């Protein structure tokens, strides 16, 4: 039977929550360190629009991961888009970064989008095993 493994889907959801949350926390907690002035200057140098985009993307990872765990079908598409965005960003970096993001994207897409078994598939599989 082909079925999305629930445990792996939950792990993927928590992975996205963790990645998004750690990214936000890193930016915000560094503002509480002795180097807060330098960090604040670096954040300002990003520009308000870019910083809003970065924090929104990280927030979307958290939202997508949480709703993936809850079983919302649209969360799969949100996280696939999130990963596709990161694949596109990594194209501007090294080949190794691009290859890593493509492999991660392929694995996540495989787990999240492989078809669920239909009731008739399960019944025919059960008939085959009992014969």
Res 75: pLDDT: 95
Residue 124 lies in a domain: no
- The dihedral over CA atoms of 11, 7, 65, 101, expressed in degrees to the nearest 10, equals 50
Residue 1 lies in a domain: no
Res 27: pLDDT: 84
Residue 125 lies in a domain: no
Radius of gyration from C-alpha coordinates of the chain: 19
The closest of 54, 35, 56 to 46, measured between CA atoms, is 54
For the stretch 14-33, pLDDT in tens is 999 999 999 999 888 888 88
Residue 127 lies in a domain: no
Residue 99 lies in a domain: yes
Give φ, ψ of 99 to 5 degrees.
-60, -40
Q: How far apart are CA 39 and CA 31, in angstroms?
A: 6
Res 89: pLDDT: 86
Residue 109 lies in a domain: yes
The domain total for the chain is 1
Residue 126 lies in a domain: no
The closest of 131, 115, 130 to 1, measured between CA atoms, is 115
Binned average pLDDT, 10 residues per bin, the chain of 131 residues:
72 96 90 86 86 91 96 94 90 88 92 70 50 49
The answer to whether residues 97 and 90 touch, using CB atoms and an 8 Å cutoff, is yes
Res 31: pLDDT: 82
Res 64: pLDDT: 97
Residue-number span of the structural domain to which 114 is assigned: 6-118
């Amino acid at each position: 039977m082909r079925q999305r493994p629930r445990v792996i889907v939950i792990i993927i959801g928590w992975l996205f929550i963790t990645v998004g949350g750690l990214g936000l926390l890193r930016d915000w907690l560094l503002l509480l360190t002795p180097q807060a002035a330098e960090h604040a200057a670096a954040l300002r140098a990003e520009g308000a629009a870019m910083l809003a985009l970065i924090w929104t993307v990280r927030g979307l990872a958290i939202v997508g991961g949480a709703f993936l765990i809850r079983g919302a079908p649209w969360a799969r598409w949100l996280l696939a888009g999130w990963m596709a965005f990161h694949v596109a960003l990594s194209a501007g970096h090294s080949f190794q970064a691009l290859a890593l993001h493509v492999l991660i994207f392929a694995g996540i897409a495989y787990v999240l989008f492989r078809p669920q078994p239909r009731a008739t598939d399960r019944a025919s599989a059960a008939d085959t095993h009992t014969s």
